[in-house]
Amino acid sequence: MSTIQQTLEKKIVQKVETGSINPYENAMKQLEIAARIIKLDPSIQEILSEPKRILTVSLPIKMDDGKVRNFQGYRVQFNDARGPFKGGIRYHPNVTLDEVKALAAWMTWKCAVVDIPYGGAKGGIVCDPKNMSMGEKERLTRRYTAMIGDFIGPYRDVPAPDVYTDPQTMSWILDTYSQMKGYQVPECVTGKPIALGGSEGRNNSTSRGCIITAREAAKVLKFPLKGATGAVQGYGNAGYWSAVFLSELGVKVVGVSDSKGGIYSKSGINPAKVQIHKDKTGSVVGFEGTEEISNEELLELDVDVLVPAALENAITKRNAPNIKAKIIAEAANGPTTPEADKILQNNKVFLVPDILANSGGVTVSYLEWVQNLNREHWTEEAVNAKLEEKMVSAFKSTFEMAGRYNVSMRDGAMALAVGKVAEAIQKLGMWP
């Protein structure tokens, strides 16, 4: 191990002991574990320990009140050995460079584990979109696109939606990029509206893929989902659709939550009705016939299936011992810390890691990109069938890898993904 890696490992251990590990250190710890499993060449590991490119941009825009505010934006391009960079863009007041770096690394592994020809990237802008008008968000998006425009494109880096960005955000990126090029380039971005070349099935693909992996986990455990109970932390797009798809499999969803709190009902919750309530009130809290619980309490509910669909580091060494779920399918990115992973594994919890569980979104983004490149539009049935095939295949490959090395599903997924990226780097060689 290099001196740099030894120093990084020492810092990670210190952070773990104090309970203040950040997402990028989490991601590097996972890489370290995968490297040991597959006996990765130290020189390749060193390459994979840092992003290929980091863009930090200053984004001055005129607000509705006429004042100019300056926002900070990032685009981290982690690795492109297997294909163009791919990754979402998030708008959030707590965006940090370390967070974006970690997400870019996870995107690299995610694309590899599900076997689509992309590398990994991620973007973020430090802002509070909930307190910005549509016009302010549009000006911010267009400025950001212009600032990173020379580094993105259909064969270079293809952005997508993430936290607090959506098809409208992608439409502004598409238009700005196309105006810069002088012609329409729908394949420069994914997660677009259908009218602009978006794919059928994209809206709920992350959740569909996640619940497919939960279903496959239940098959491995020989555990019937019909009549089982479930809970979902986070009730944005991914959380809502996860609850819907769990219900369709016969799982009784008894708890859901959002940033303002959670709700619980022993008799079960109707996901669609909860969404209507949230649309009216701004939160799931207060839904009729339920009792209010905290996000922490939701994670520790006595349920069979738990879907973390919020932000990073939700499951830590503090609450992991209290988790009772038999299956955890991570719809969020990085919701479980390395220390919590060990606890859950010791407690025989079957955890489907984020780089596998939530790869349905990037898989359908890839399918959207392919459709755009060929100027085709497929049916939702065709898209869902291809997604099903990819997710089942990736689950089986990960499960086999975990069994081969006698490691957890997360370590198996990481070993599979890192191995694929490392092979691509080795085959490409070094130039210049």
What is the helix (H) or strand (E) element at residue 152, kind and residue range?
Answer: none
Complete edge-to-edge strand list for the sheet that includes strand 291-293: 291-293, 261-264, 252-258, 229-233, 305-308, 327-329, 350-352
For residue 427, indicate whether it is catalytic: no
Amino acid making up residue 46: E
In angstroms, what CA-CA distances link 192 with 36, 135, 184, 205?
Answer: 40, 19, 13, 13
Rounded CA Rg of the chain = 21
- CA dihedral in degrees (273, 276, 282, 288; nearest 10)? -40
Structure tokens of 313?
């580091």
CA dist 195 → 134, 230, 298, 377 (Å): 20, 35, 38, 11
What is the 3-state composition of the chain as percent helix, strand, coil, each rounded to the nearest 5?
A: 50, 15, 30
| Whether 231 contacts 242, CB under 8 Å | no
The rounded Cα 321 to chain-centroid distance in angstroms is 24
The phi, psi pair for 172, rounded to 5°, reads: -65, -40
Structure tokens at 351: 């955890």
Give helix then strand counts, H and E, for the chain.
Answer: 15, 12
Q: Using an 8 Å Cβ cutoff, are 225 and 215 in contact?
A: yes
C-alpha closest to that of 213 among 225, 202, 201:
225
Q: Which tokens go with 396?
A: 């089986």
Which residue out of 122, 252, 278, 390 is catalytically annotated? 122
* Residues classed as catalytic: 122
